[in-house]
Amino acid sequence: MPRVALHVDCKRCGTRFDTAIRTGAESFRRGSFIANYHRCPDCGVRETYRKADYRLTDARTGVPVEVISTGSPRAATVVPPVPETPPEHGE
Ligand SMILES: [Zn+2]
């Protein structure tokens, strides 16, 4: 199970920052993160964040992880897998 870092987007200034919470993707999915306080390192505003507010990031690679669908328009950029089949050369 990959370790994930929980990031949030600041409700005041929009800066994405690391909440320093580390958990497993499955643990996060099952867990209830109802209201946690996090302080934005950029503007210093302390706000409560719910489970849907967290942006999961792979703790090792920093790559965004999609665990729950929140319908966020700021979804992570997903690179589609490159097909293994070579292009056909019709002659
Ligand atoms: Zn902020």
Quote the domain boundaries for residue 9. 3-58
In a domain, 74, yes or no: no
pTM of the shown model: 0.69
Distance 44 CA to ligand 1 centre (A): 6
In a domain, 40, yes or no: yes
Place 1 in a pLDDT band, splitting at 50, 70 and 90: low
pLDDT confidence of residue 2: 74
* Overall number of domains in the chain: 1
pLDDT in tens, 25-80: 899 999 999 899 999 999 999 999 999 999 999 999 989 887 655 544 454 555 55
CB 12 within 8 A of CB 40: yes
In a domain, 16, yes or no: yes
Distance 11 CA to ligand 1 centre (A): 7
In a domain, 66, yes or no: no
In a domain, 48, yes or no: yes
Distance 39 CA to ligand 1 centre (A): 8
Residue 61 corresponds to which tokens in the numbers above? 């690679």
In a domain, 25, yes or no: yes
